[in-house]
Structure 1
């Protein structure tokens, strides 16, 4: 048994040496042969990187929304773009939050913790002296808002219950607004101009980034609800944010909240809901088709590239067998086994594919680093799983494409091979 192992190890090492020699002797041919594998590995690696990046960015964005928060709104996130279905629904009112909170307080077994009203508008701007920030996201709410949202403060504080009840003109602003209006960094206590009103800054959020790469949480301004209506009126979009006790029991919490909203709106049993209860799963259901589309396109491109590459490797290996027929005959005449010849050409084919795989990985990694430098806010992830997967695919391609030529070489007759011209 030990002799067989030693013999196999010797044959493998010898085959590796021959493969390295042949690849060095035909560098350009070997590179062109591996080109299809290189393109395929780049495609599958970039596809995986893109999907991982989408997942990372999506998880970060959901963390900003809060995993344990649901939203009562006029429409539904799962049917975005179909706004005409909901345009005739009655508007959501901020008073619903107080009614929900009263019902929660009377039910110790409720799945809900607190409801927070929110009015918002993107048609807002903020000015300080000669500096102005346009298209900010202004939001009116109460002192319980931090219970339903992520984001720590880098300076100052959130407004109090007294300030919220009195409608004091105070606000908490995002990092982009703070740096844009106050480049010297002294923000808290300063008054900014919102339309024709002066509003004092009492706090600044730490930098949070963008939601799904689109909406920036650093461009928001939050103020008491009454102060908000004084500045922007009551025509803004209203949302009720509801924190749940356990994020794992979101479906139960949604069912309870649906019942509360039907009770508040006095809907008869036969009538459909005229409101939407939204949570993160709606975004996930919209993201899946995008990921599936990227995966399908990547698999198609990868499959075509690897198929072309495998055909090219098989063809060149057959050519190599023809070129080295006399060598094969001589080796067989000197006692080389069929296994040895088969292993030689199979290892050569696998080595070409592995070289193509490593070049493809290096190319994909370079592209990933370039994207990170040019688009630092876009999440990309070059995971070890992709590296292992790419190398496994390279080896499999080498085995599949080299097996037929290797078997052909191993079956050559020594006498006929020595007479081959």
Structure 2
């Protein structure tokens, strides 16, 4: 019961302090408001930017291991790029070899892509990402078909001229007519549209997007590009099991199988790279962690100023309420009651400044920033409230300690 009494008394005194000298209190709390705004705004912008950048790399898939010539990572001691360039690319024979033998993969696919121009009547779409895929491609990568359907196994095996296209291609070629069932021309060949992919939206970077992607059967793609020639190479990718932490089992298994398939001797190094899709996202996360720390340090100086403002309010409050403190103590109030009363009051005042700062950050989320969508997360709101509460406790501790140690007689006579 006493804790509720403390909270109520502290809230009442904090409200009286606000009303008694509104200008002084607002100016004192401004430091906390600016400090919380600076830190939470940095955290919010960094989180939003990180989320948007990571979403731009969704084409790499999740929990996916790719067979490439070049590794995603490179560092001191790595041999020159021209040695990677001389490595042989993956091929359909290796895909079949892995498909028959892999035990630690949920699914495996092979695909190839190239930029192409798509036409329909007098309309055309330049710069489309034309991608040849197999039936299991949808088991490895996300292929959200919102209208029509995905390929059947028969269409893939027979290399039928059918296509699943993105929203930008649909908007450019369909006009007012329904896109499903419409014929489009790719490299001089007619294809029938059987599916439409879900709209992904604009990203921060010019990276492959589902919106300008056109999927066709792998065999149809091979007929047009003769894979392995003209710089167009297939990519093998396997989706790991959820129980395989870090895809270590899948990586070890694929390494052994590929070495065996390519006839590498035990003393020879790998002539392929196994790239995890999470590597780039983890690297991005590490960079933004550093940015967040730097922003927090800068915002911390503003909060420090705000802490001095809270301390100033509390010293003045103790001075003005010295006779009241004496009366409370003469009526039996314990030292801890007075201490907690002023600590709660300092915390309430600091929370008011913190809430104002969080409110400013929330207002920031409504400002259009192009492709960057700013989102204030619950985590950042909690961080802001905890920071402002901590500043209030730290700033109010010394004034509260002074008030709690006052002699009741001297305090009453000080009026």
Q: Give the TM bin, normalised by the shorter chain.
A: 0.7 to 0.9
Please name the residue that 2:389 is paired with: 395
Quick one: which of 76, 93, 117 aligns to 2:71?
76
Query: 2:314 is matched with which residue: 304, 314, 317?
Result: 317
Residue 352 of structure 1 is matched in structure 2 by 349
Structure 2 equivalent of residue 31 of structure 1: 26
CA RMSD of aligned residues (A): 3.7
SS in 1 for 2:237: strand
Deviation at 1:404, TM superposition (A): 0.9
Partner of 2:132: 140
C-alpha distance in 1 between matches for 2:199 and 2:330? 75
- For 1:223, the equivalent position in structure 2 comes to 216
Q: What is the CA–CA distance in structure 1 between the aligned matches of 2:118 and 2:203, rounded to whole Å?
A: 21
Aligned-pair CA distance for 1:155: 3.4
**Within the alignment, does 1:240 sit opposite 2:235 as a pair?**
yes
| Contact persistence 2:98–2:254 (CA under 8 A) | no
Give the 5 Å matches for 1:130-209.
130-159=122-151, 163-164=155-156, 167-209=159-201
Matched position secondary structure for 2:252: helix
Conservation of the 8 A alpha-carbon contact between 1:97 and 1:240: no
Residue 85 of structure 2 is matched in structure 1 by 89
Task: Tell me the alpha carbon deviations over residues 172-196 of structure 1, each in whole angstroms, 9 at most, x when there is no partner.
Answer: 2112211222132511332324454
Look up the match of 1:22: 17
Q: Deviations over 1:311-354 (max 9, x none)?
A: 22213432444455566567767876655554454333222101
Give SS of 1:215's match: coil
Distance in 2 between the 1:171 and 1:160 partners?
11
* Deviation larger for 124-133 or 354-363: 124-133
Distance in 2 of aligned mates of 1:237 and 1:303:
52
Cα offset for 1:309?
1.0
Query: Which residue of the other structure, out of 361, 380, 397, is the alignment partner of 2:358?
Result: 361
1:93 and 1:164 map into 2 onto residues whose CA distance is: 22
Measured after TM superposition, the shift of residue 65 of structure 1 is 4.4
Alpha-carbon offset, residue 161 of structure 1: 5.3
Written as runs of structure 1 = structure 2, the 5 A alignment for 1:101-112 is 101-102=96-97, 104-105=99-100, 107=101, 110-112=103-105
Whole-angstrom CA distance in 2 between matches of 1:156 and 1:191: 14
Q: What residue number does 2:403 align with?
A: 409
Shift of 1:36: 2.0
Determine the C-alpha separation between the residues in 1 that align with 2:159 and 2:340: 82
Q: Deviations over 1:129-175 (max 9, x none)?
A: 34332322121233443333221323344445565556554322112
Number of aligned positions between the proteins: 408
Q: Measure how far apart 1:356 and its partner are.
A: 0.7
Indicate if the aligned counterparts of 2:88 and 2:271 stay in contact, CA closer than 8 A.
no
Shift in CA distance, 84/14, structure 1 to aligned 2, threshold 3 Å: same
Q: What secondary structure sits across from 1:75 in the alignment? A: coil
- Determine the structure 2 residue equivalent to 1:116: 109
State the alpha-carbon separation in 2 of the partners of residues 345 and 283 from structure 1: 50
Name the counterpart of 2:252: 255
- Greater mean deviation of Cα atoms: 174-183 or 323-332: 323-332
**CA apart distance, 1:374:** 5.0
- 1 CA distance for matches of 2:335 and 2:28? 25
1:271 aligns with 2:261: no
Taking a change above 3 Å as real, the CA distance of residues 255 and 335 of structure 1, as seen in their structure-2 partners, is: closer
Residues 155 and 312 of structure 1: CA distance in aligned 2, closer, same or farther (over 3 Å): closer
Change (3 A) 1:220 1:365: same
- Structure 1, unaligned stretches of length 5 or more? none
Hey, what's the Cα distance between the residues in 2 that align with 1:396 and 1:160? 60
Taking structure 1 as the reference length, what is the TM-score of the superposition?
Answer: 0.80
Alignment of 1:35-54 (within 5 A): 35-50=30-45, 53=48
Change in Cα spacing, 1:209 to 1:252, as seen in structure 2 (3 Å) is farther
3-state DSSP class of the match of 2:178? coil
2:64·2:240 contact (CA, 8 Å) conserved in 1?
A: no
